[in-house]
Amino acid sequence: MGIVEAILFSVITAATPLVLAALGELVAERSGVLNLGVEGMMIMGAVCAFAATQLIGSPYAGILAGIAAGAVFSLLFGFLTLTLVANQVATGLALTLLGLGVSGMLGESFLGMQGIKLQPIAIPLLSKIPVVGPLLFRQDAIFYASVAILVGVHLFLFKSRAGLKLRAVGDSHSSAHALGVNVIRTRYLAVLFGGACAGLAGAQLSLVYTPQWVENMSAGRGWIALALVVFASWRPWRVVAGGYLFGAVSISQLHAQAFGIGIPSQFLTALPYIATIVVLILISHNRRMTLINTPASLGKPFVPDR
């Protein structure tokens, strides 16, 4: 049972940044914005969180710094694509490359430093429940934040008037604008939320998953988060299911090596990305379902009438 608990705990830790980044991207895409800069925002969140933790001495300060870094990058993306109406795909790719480069420069002086790990918070009574207690109720603050964000995103999108307006903007920005909805402001807020979630996901990487700074430590998780949104058909609860599935695939390589399973390490390292490709191929076969769930205005620029 101890081994099973350890494996499940590591799966939760590996899945949390994927879930956070995917939930943020889901909200942005629901508003009609395709942000391919998630990877760059994650890595900036990771380096800023680690740097702030080292300089201030508090991982909670690092969390705030990671969120701020992701939000700033998202505002840059929003300015370029929503205000200047630049191509969303090209801008997102450029910001990812920018984030990878800037993070390497900022983190150079922190290489090899021992990080300050964000300690778990035990919820009284609930944390003592066998098996479930340690897994769900003795976790770090970022895990609890991911659960709160999941519930909040679901309630916002499907149970609130503001969420209805956001989905209307994503489905038909022209119609929403004609009805008096401020399309640009709505998309700015959605992109800002997505960037903050990506920054928080990056903070989890450098404060919980691997409490140290390693260049390019996001290792493609931003791209997996983008695939998760499509895999989940833009539904928050499906994002969580997919996130934990991909987290299990990611962590399986470590346990397979620990148990001495005779599989080449290179194949195990590539396994999460192979799984991503397989999932996207399977989704592409059901084009009708994909078209029904995809926001109709996704990736399309909007210029309000003047």
Encode pLDDT of 103-135 as tens digits: 999 999 998 888 899 999 999 888 888 878 888
**SS3 label, residue 107:** coil
Question: 38: Cβ–Cβ under 8 A, 6 or more apart, which residues?
Answer: 21, 24, 25, 92, 96, 194, 198, 222, 223, 225, 226
H runs (alpha helix) in the chain = 2-30, 38-56, 59-78, 88-106, 132-136, 141-159, 161-171, 173-178, 183-204, 221-231, 236-258, 265-285, 287-293
Give the single-character DSSP code of 212: S
**Interior/surface letters 11-46, b for 16+ CB within 10 angstroms, e for the rest:** bbbbbbbbbbbbbbbbbbbbbbbbbbbbbbbbbbbb
Closest by CA position to 242, among listed 6, 21, 7, 5:
21
**Interior/surface letters 235-255, b for 16+ CB within 10 angstroms, e for the rest:** bbebbbebbbbbbbbbbbbeb
Q: Which residue range is the domain that position 245 belongs to?
A: 2-293
**SS3 label, residue 121:** strand
Q: Is 61 exposed, middle or buried (0-12, 13-18, 19+ CB in 10 A)?
A: middle
Question: 144: Cβ–Cβ under 8 A, 6 or more apart, which residues?
Answer: 121
Which CATH number goes with the domain that contains 77? Answer: 1.10.3470
Tell me, yes or no, whether 162 lies in a domain.
Answer: yes
pLDDT at residue 66 in the model: 97
DSSP labels, 29-51: HHTT---TTHHHHHHHHHHHHHH
pLDDT digits (tens, 9 = 90+) for 240-295: 988 898 888 877 766 666 666 666 766 767 777 787 777 777 776 666 666 667 89
Is-contact 99 41, C-beta < 8 A?
Answer: yes
Q: Cα(131)–Cα(245) distance, rounded to whole angstroms?
A: 20
Tell me, yes or no, whether 46 lies in a domain.
Answer: yes
pLDDT at residue 62 in the model: 96
Tell me, yes or no, whether 48 lies in a domain.
Answer: yes
Closest by CA position to 234, among listed 176, 157, 152:
157
Q: Give the number of other CB atoms < 10 A from CB of residue 261.
A: 11
pTM, to two decimals: 0.92
Element (H, E) at 138: strand 138-139
**SS3 label, residue 139:** strand
Give mean pLDDT in consecutive 10-residue pieces for the chain, a chain of 306 residues. 78 93 96 95 96 94 96 96 94 95 92 88 87 87 96 96 95 92 96 97 94 90 91 89 85 68 69 76 68 84 78
Tell me, yes or no, whether 302 lies in a domain.
Answer: no
pLDDT at residue 260 in the model: 64
The domain tally of the chain equals 1
Q: Cα(123)–Cα(134) distance, rounded to whole angstroms?
A: 9
Tell me, yes or no, whether 175 lies in a domain.
Answer: yes
Q: Cα(251)–Cα(101) distance, rounded to whole angstroms?
A: 27
Is-contact 280 51, C-beta < 8 A?
Answer: no
Tell me, yes or no, whether 306 lies in a domain.
Answer: no
Tell me, yes or no, whether 299 lies in a domain.
Answer: no
Tell me, yes or no, whether 26 lies in a domain.
Answer: yes
Q: Give the number of other CB atoms < 10 A from CB of residue 76.
A: 18
What's the sign of the alpha-carbon dihedral 271, 216, 47, 211? positive
